[in-house]
Amino acid sequence: MPIGKRCVSLKYNNTRVCSSSSSLLFLGIFWLFQYQWNKWKCWDSEYIWFNSEVVGLLLNVFPFMPFSAAAIPLSNCLRNLHIVYMRSLPKHNYSPISHHLSMLQQITNDNDATNHMVRSYYKSFNGFAAMITNQEREKLKKMEGVVSVFPSESLKPQTTRSWDFMGFKESIQRNKTAESDVIIGVIDTGIWPESESFNDRGFGPIPKKWKGACKGGENFRCNNKIIGARYYLKDQTSARDFVGHGTHTASIAAGNKVVGASFNGIAEGVARGGVPSARIAAYSVCSERDQCRADAILAAFDDAIADGVDLITISLGLQEQITFDNDIIAIGSFQAMKKGILTINSAGNDGPNNTTSSVSPWLFTVAATTMDSRNTDNVLLGNGLMPSGKSINGYASNSAEILSSTGFINNSAPIVAEFSSGGPNMQIREIMKPDISAPGLEILAAYSPLAPPSHDKREKRSVKYNILSGTSMSCPHVAGAAAYVKTSHPDWSPAAIKSSLMTTAKPMNGSELAEFSYGSGFLDPVRAINPGLVFDVSKKDYVKLLCRIGYNTMEVRKISGDKSVCPSSSFHHRLPMAKDFNYPAIAAEIEPRKPFKINFTRTVTNVGFANSAYKAYIQQHSGINITIVPNVLEFKSLKEKQSFVVHVDGGKFSDKSVVSSSLLWSDGTHSVRCPIILRVIKKENATCKIRFSLRSVFSCSYK
């Protein structure tokens, strides 16, 4: 030790700091302040160094204070919220909360581990969220039963005439009894329960299958329409929606019929959801600052699955594609799929140059389109001219006055909205994304009267209905349509419902990226309840796909939450190739200016007529040749399965082009359309699969 200096030990991390005796008191006070500050605010840096800027500042203030360089590591004291994902719940003699607390107690050496526990997941899968240090995180990773430990980051929500535009008119034949038994889980910013769109006049008792609860919090009352509500963030006092987004999406999917709804007189008419008789369970995972935490989203999935919802709609997401084992929505929706629950997810609003982050094959990813009606403002400029603008606004400026908003017919609709995020799917190139398109531009639906109706800082109005645009709005349209299919086919798997909506979608055009922009086409709910054939997929098929594309057993278990196993490398080749995954669309990548030949295998299940024969028809594209073997499928019974092979070969295409075609199976009554889309790209331009961490990408926006 240098002469004339004394040293002190910092107990919490065994660090020794040496300084002159006259400065030890100040150094101690400074360290205590720094320690407390970093307990309040987590620093990204691993160390505070007492030998650079900090030392310079101290020497300027206290020139008498010479001390040697020392580093104080903060990782042992800084606690960040992490999600601990564990193996599936044991069936007998297991207390998950006690187990989770015991694990925390072991790694923190704290007799009261509840100080660090945020929540347990124990209803549909096993795990917990807790405030832990980096050192504790590494200890947890080594503990028996732990599959993964990763930081909980934040997502943001992605931000009537639409149902009529799709041909899904109010007069369409419905089974209202079956519809009233369908429960849609809405994971979003909450809900405004007093809205006319959610009153329960005429509703019967809550479905007997419902296992959930109304835990909406302060001044929140459920009814026979909104049968469940939960909230998850500490700064929330209820599941009440102060943002407006969740109320809007919920009413698009399942809002009641409301006559005379409008946004300050604009677009006045009848507002209704896709399945007005269905029930709603609201799960509020977002704060008023639009931060939607990953641990809350996973908790909402856990609750929704256990509560007994039939479908989940979630208009939230990332801004980048990440691997499925790091994607909270992919993990949660996989758990839902295992229980027979389809999850519908918005594609995102970062188009047209950025790709969708919703690329899991078990998710139903929705792009946004225009409608045949638009709103325009008549603006009186200071020079007396009066042009029209495609906007909805209620304010005047110094040089212009907005006189009125009126509607006009958009004959080009439906086309993909400019903001809608598209493909391709960089995680599994053989899986087309997005899957389907639905109206997402200028959608009138219920809104929270406490939420500002626009992003204008001068906004003081309070509205009960608002006009919003985004894939957030297209997503619940598909959720409503999926619920409608569910009323006719309650025993269908999530994949079968998804297939029925994709294969009956109306063909679209108007985009250079073709199906990579709009998926299978424009949603047609009426045809979807009688698709004729479906492409079905089981949980085992998804696991095989994950193993085939390079996920190992531990990575697959992070997604599946069970004891799924990938075969050893010597048997890996026996797994079906990704191109042969039984998806209701065919996608592949080919190299530019080179001939190619690819074969794709698919299997369809008969859900139409017991005795039927389907003939194959091809929409040929110049430059490629497509043949189907066999070109006729004959069925003798319902639920019978038949397989076929699609042979595609062709010539030379330019780099970064898209080749689009389709296969149509028809028995004279049913038409089952399957897109065939090829992306032309040099192999060196293709991005290899990268295992991003959640921390690096969870910065996202309204979908």
pLDDT in tens, 576-594: 999 999 999 999 999 999 9
pLDDT at 371: 81
Q: Which residue, 364, 175, 170, 190, is CA-closest to 278?
A: 175
pLDDT confidence band for 682 (50 / 70 / 90): confident
CATH code of the region 581-702: 2.60.40.2310
Give the rounded distance of the alpha carbon of 183 from its chain centre. 19
Residue 481 has pLDDT above 90, yes or no: yes
3-state SS assignment for residue 231: strand
Instruction: Give the angle 413-419-420 at the CA atoms, nearest 5°.
Output: 75
CATH code 3.30.70.80 region(s) in the chain: 74-151
Which CATH superfamily hosts domain 161-390+401-516? Peptidase S8/S53 domain (3.40.50.200)
Query: How many angstroms separate the CA atoms of 154 and 312, rounded?
Result: 20
Length of the chain: 703
Secondary structure (H, E, C), 402-438: EEEEEEEECCCCCCECCCCCECCCCCCCCCCCCCEEE
**H-type helices in 192-293, by residue range?**
245-254
CATH code 3.40.50.200 region(s) in the chain: 161-390+401-516
Residue 61 has pLDDT above 60, yes or no: no
CATH code 2.60.40.2310 region(s) in the chain: 581-702
Looking at mean pLDDT, say which of 104-108, 152-156, 368-372, 642-646 comes out highest.
642-646
Active site (catalytic) residues:
188, 245, 472
Query: How many angstroms separate the CA atoms of 503 and 528, rounded?
Result: 8
pLDDT confidence band for 551 (50 / 70 / 90): very high
Let me know if domain 74-151 sits in CATH 3.30.1340.30. no
User: 212 pairs with which residues across the strands?
Assistant: none
- Is the separation of the CB atoms in 507 and 673 below 8 Å? yes
Residue 139 has pLDDT above 70, yes or no: yes
Q: Report which residue type is found at 93.
A: N
Comparing 49-53, 107-111, 667-671, the range with the smallest average pLDDT is: 49-53
Query: How many angstroms separate the CA atoms of 8 and 543, rounded?
Result: 56
Query: How many angstroms separate the CA atoms of 621 and 627, rounded?
Result: 12
Omega of the bond leading into 352 within 30 degrees of 0 (cis):
yes
Helix (H) or strand (E) holding 583: none
Query: How many angstroms separate the CA atoms of 530 and 501, rounded?
Result: 10
For strand 292-293 and strand 311-314, is the pairing parallel, antiparallel, or unpaired?
unpaired
Query: How many angstroms separate the CA atoms of 674 and 602, rounded?
Result: 11
Residue 388 tokens read as 């029209």
